[in-house]
Structure 1
Amino acid sequence: MTSPEQRGVVITGLGVTTAVGQGKDDFTAALFEGRHAFAPVRRPGRSLPGDESAAPFLGAEIAELSVPEAFPARVLRTASLSARVALATMSEAWHDAGLDGVDPTRIGLVAGGSNFQQRELTQAHARHADHPEFVRPTYGLTFMDSDLCGLCTELFPVRGFAHTLGGASASGLLAVLQAVRAVRSGQVDVCIALGALMDLSYWEFQAFRSMGAMGSARFAHDPGSACRPFDRQRDGFVFGEACGAVVVEREGARRHPEPYARVLGMATAVDGNRNPDPSLAGEISVIGGALAEAGLTAADVEYVNPHGTGSLLGDDIELRALAKCGLGHTRINATKSITGHGLTAAGAVEVVATLLQMREQRLHPTRNLMDPADPSFGWVREESVPYEFETALSLSMGFGGLSSAICLRKWR
C-alpha cells in the first residue's frame, strides 16, 4: 500500500483573472494574441495626490470584473477588489475541477500573498483621517489578509483548512507548492492554491519606483512599450492586476475531470538576504532541486516559464541560472510581458499560463523582446508558435531572498 507521500499529485482545475482577460478562454486568446492593457493607472488611490506634474505610474488594470450572480450582494458590498477578484477566480477553478461533490472537510485553501488591500486601506485612512470614530466596524475584519480566506470559505464549502502564505512576488507559486504538500501528506484530498490580487496604492508605486524595481517614466507616452522582460532596453517591472487559482489533488482520490498535468517536482530556497537582490545560487538551487525531485535531467525539460519581470539585475541573474543548469536549449517566453507583474498573484497566474499553453501545444509571444539580453536562448518573440511539449519548468522569485520552482508534465 502506498503512503500519501508516494501518491501522484495532479492539477485538475484552473481559474484566472487578469487585465487582458477573465477566464481561461479569454486569457488564452489574449496570451496568443499578445494582447496588452498597459496604460497610466486610473484607480482612485494610485496617483500621487496633489501633484499633477508627476509622471504617471503605468500598469494594467482590470476594466470589468464579472462576479457570479449567486454571490450575495450584502457580502460583496464590503468585499475589497482583491476579495471580489478572488471569488470570481476561485469560482472558475472550483467548477473546472468539479468540486461540488467533494467532502468539504477534505478541501483546503492556501491564499498566496500578504498586504493584499493597500490601496483600499489608504483610501479608508484618508477618508476618516479627521473622524476615525466613523470608521466602519467591519474594518476590524477587512484590513486583515485572512478576511479573504474567510470570505472564500463562507461562499465555498472549504472546511479542511484555509490560510494565507506570504512570500512577496513568489507567493503565488509558494501557495501552489504548499497545496501540493498538503495533498501529498494526506492532510486533505483537494487543495486550492490562490495567487491573490495585490491592490497597490501610490505609496507602493512610489517606493518601488524609487528603489528602481518598478519601471521609470521613460515610456509614459508609449505604455505598450514599457514592459519588456529580458530585453536590453528594460528598466523595471510594470504592475498588472491579476489573480490565479490552481486546484491540486491526489491522483485517484475521486473520479475527476481529466487533469491538466502531474506535479513532478518542486523546490524552494532562501538566501538570507532582506534586500530585493536576486540570488544566482538560490535560483540554481531550486532549479536543480525541482529536477532532482522529478527524477529528470535538464535535457528532459522542453519549456521554461521564467520569473522574468523586466528587472535590470533580476533578468540577467535568471538567465545565468538557467544557462548554468543546462536549460539553454528550452523554449522560453515571458508571461509578464503580456500581463504585467501581478506580484503576489504572479506565480499562480504563470502556472495557469504554462498549463494552458501545454493544453493548446502553442507558446505565446514575448512582447517588446526586440534585443534579447542573451540571444542564445530559444526565445518565443513577436508571434505565438505551435510547439509540442510535455515537460515544463516554472520559476518564481520574491524579495527577501526567496526562490521557487515547479516541474510539471502534461497529463496522458
Structure 2
Amino acid sequence: MTIAVIGIGVACGLGHGKEAFRQGLFEAPNVFSHLKREGREPPEGEIPFIGVEMPDPPSILPARLARTATLSSRAAISVLDEAWNEAGLETVDPERIGLVVGGSNLMTRERVLALRDYSERLAYVPPRHGHMFLDTDICGLCTATYPIRGFAYSVGGASASGSVAIIQAMEAIRSGRVDVCIALGALQDLSAHDLQAMRAMGALGSTRFADSPADACRPMDTDHDGFIFGEACAALVLCRADKVTGGKLYGEILGASHVADGSRGPEPSSAGQVRAANLALAEAELTVSDIDTVNGHATSTPTGDDTELETYRTLGLEHARINATKSILGHGLSAAGAIEVAAVLIQIEEGRLHPNRNLETPLDPRFGWVGAKSETHDIRHALKFSFGFGGVDTALVIGAPGTGRRRQ
C-alpha cells in the first residue's frame, strides 16, 4: 500500500509556514548566528554557540493555554494548524485520525530555566510543571486543540525521530487502525548544557568559524567540523494514496525502513545505512538506478559525513543529484527527518533542487552534488536518509504523485 502526503506544516529559522520555507529553500539566505535564547548561554569564557533560532510561533492557542505551553508545544501547534487546514481534516471522523510525535527529552532548555527559578523555593513550583515537560504533553495539547481521537503517542529516534514518526504513521494507516495519520517532528529545545555536552563529544561545531557563523554549517565539505543546531518543527498529513479525496497531493512514500545497527552512542554505521536503504528500495519495488535525487542526513560532522559518503559509494549513487537541507536550516535533531521530507516534497512540486550552502570542496567530487544555486530537476524518485544516535538508521523512498499507483 502506497502512502500519500496531503498536508504540510513547517517552522524553522526561515520563518513559519510553507511560503517562507519554500522561498528560503531555493534562495538559501544566511540564517546562522550566535544562539541567543535564554538558557543557551555558553560557560563563562567559552565561545558562543552557533545555530539557527526561529521567530516566535504565531498566537494560535487561547491565552490561558499559551501561558502553560512550552516553545516546543507552541511550535507543534503552529505546524499542525497549517497541515490540518491544508489537508481539510475537519471532514474526517476524529476517531480515524492518529498522531505520532517524533522526539524525546524535547524541552531541556525550559526545564533548566525552571530548575534555576525554583530550586530554592520548591513549594512554589507551578502545578502545570507536573506534566508540561513530558513529551506526551505535546500529544495532549494537540489532541485538546484539534479533534484527533484515534490515538496519539511519541517516539524517540534521536536525530531520526521525525522519520521514525513518519514510518510509524505509515504502519498505522496500513494496519487499518486509522485512515489519516499526522507525523510531527517536534522542536528539540536544547539547553546550554546539551550544547556543551555535544561540543565536548566533538559532534557540535564550530569553534573554527566562531567569528563567521554563516560559514559554519558545511555538510559534505572537506572543511566541516561538526553539526550546527537549528530550531525546526514540521507536520506531515499521511493517508492511503488511493483514498486521497481532499488536501493537496504532494507525493507518495513508496518505501521505508527503520533498522538498528547495534551502536550505543554517536558512532555511525555504513552497513546499517546501506541495509536501511536496500530494504526501503525493495519495499518500493525500485533499484538504486531508479533514484534520481538523494536528500542526505549530511550533518556536517567529519565522521558522520565520511560514513554516509561510504554508504553512497556502496549503493552506487554517483548518478543521483545530492543535496543537504541542513546546510540551509541547520540540524533540527528530532525534527530533522520530518522537515527534510517536507523539503523533498516541495522540491518535487517545484521541479527544482535547493542549493547546498558552503559546499566549496566536496569530499568526493565524483558525486552529483547540487551547487551554490538551485537547479531545475524533474524528481521522480528521491531517497531520504535520517540517522540517530543509538544506532538508528532510516531510509525513505519518496515518489512524485502517481509514481506508486501500480502497487495499490
How many residues are paired up? 402
Aligned pairs for 1:320-339 within 5 A: 320-339=310-329
Q: Could you tell me how far apart the structure 1 residues matched to 2:96 and 2:77 are? A: 20
Which position in structure 1 is the counterpart of 2:54? 62
Equivalent pair of 2:258/2:395 in contact (CA under 8 Å) = yes
Equivalent pair of 2:7/2:248 in contact (CA under 8 Å) = no
Instruction: Give the drift of 1:254.
Output: 5.4
Instruction: Give the drift of 1:327.
Output: 1.2
Q: Could you tell me how far apart the structure 2 residues matched to 1:189 and 1:322 are? A: 35
- Secondary structure, aligned partner of 1:274: coil
Q: Could you tell me how far apart the structure 1 residues matched to 2:218 and 2:56 are? A: 25
Which position in structure 1 is the counterpart of 2:5? 11
Instruction: Give the drift of 1:113.
Output: 0.4
Amino acid of the structure 2 residue aligned with 1:47: E
Which position in structure 2 is the counterpart of 1:172? 162
1:325-356 CA-partner distances (Å, limit 9, x unpaired): 12111000110000000000000000000000
Amino acid of the structure 1 residue aligned with 2:52: A
Amino acid of the structure 2 residue aligned with 1:318: E
> Does residue 369 in structure 1 map to residue 359 in structure 2?
yes
1:268-290 CA-partner distances (Å, limit 9, x unpaired): 11111112010010000011111
Q: Choose which of 69, 92, 102 in structure 2 pairs with 1:79.
A: 69
Equivalent pair of 2:268/2:304 in contact (CA under 8 Å) = yes
Q: Could you tell me how far apart the structure 2 residues matched to 1:90 and 1:202 are? A: 28
Instruction: Give the drift of 1:67.
Output: 3.2
Equivalent pair of 1:12/1:97 in contact (CA under 8 Å) = yes
Q: Choose which of 368, 371, 385 in structure 2 pairs with 1:378.
A: 368
1:280-335 CA-partner distances (Å, limit 9, x unpaired): 10000011111011000111011010100001011111111112112111000110
Matched-pair identity in %? 49
Q: Could you tell me how far apart the structure 1 residues matched to 2:377 and 2:133 are? A: 45
Distance 1:254 1:221, change over 3 A: closer
> Does residue 296 in structure 1 map to residue 286 in structure 2?
yes
1:85-114 CA-partner distances (Å, limit 9, x unpaired): 000011111111111110000000000000
Which position in structure 2 is the counterpart of 1:4? none
TM-score, reference length from structure 2:
0.97
Instruction: Give the drift of 1:64.
Output: 3.6
Equivalent pair of 1:176/1:193 in contact (CA under 8 Å) = yes
Aligned pairs for 1:204-353 within 5 A: 204-253=194-243, 255-353=245-343
1:166-199 CA-partner distances (Å, limit 9, x unpaired): 0100000000011000001101000000000000
Equivalent pair of 2:16/2:55 in contact (CA under 8 Å) = no
Q: Could you tell me how far apart the structure 2 residues matched to 1:322 and 1:185 are? A: 32
Which position in structure 2 is the counterpart of 1:91? 81
Q: Could you tell me how far apart the structure 2 residues matched to 1:274 and 1:233 are? A: 27
Which position in structure 1 is the counterpart of 2:34? 40
> Does residue 188 in structure 1 map to residue 178 in structure 2?
yes
Instruction: Give the drift of 1:31.
Output: 0.7
Q: Could you tell me how far apart the structure 1 residues matched to 2:194 and 2:272 are? A: 26
TM-score, reference length from structure 1:
0.96
Which position in structure 1 is the counterpart of 2:397? 407
Amino acid of the structure 2 residue aligned with 1:386: T
Aligned pairs for 1:79-158 within 5 A: 79-158=69-148
Equivalent pair of 2:206/2:228 in contact (CA under 8 Å) = no
Distance 1:67 1:386, change over 3 A: farther
Amino acid of the structure 1 residue aligned with 2:333: L
Kindly report structure 1 stretches of 4+ aligned residues shifted beyond 3 Å. none
Instruction: Give the drift of 1:36.
Output: 2.7
Equivalent pair of 2:169/2:181 in contact (CA under 8 Å) = yes
- Secondary structure, aligned partner of 1:100: helix
C-alpha root-mean-square deviation of aligned residues, in Å?
1.0
- Secondary structure, aligned partner of 1:272: coil
Which position in structure 2 is the counterpart of 1:3? none
- Secondary structure, aligned partner of 2:344: helix
Q: Could you tell me how far apart the structure 2 residues matched to 1:74 and 1:285 are? A: 48
Q: Could you tell me how far apart the structure 2 residues matched to 1:338 and 1:262 are? A: 24
Equivalent pair of 1:67/1:87 in contact (CA under 8 Å) = no
- Unaligned segments of structure 2, at least 5 residues: 403-408
Amino acid of the structure 1 residue aligned with 2:203: A
Instruction: Give the drift of 1:72.
Output: 1.1
Q: Could you tell me how far apart the structure 1 residues matched to 2:240 and 2:206 are? A: 45
Which deviates further from its counterpart, 57-66 or 290-299? 57-66
Amino acid of the structure 2 residue aligned with 1:61: E
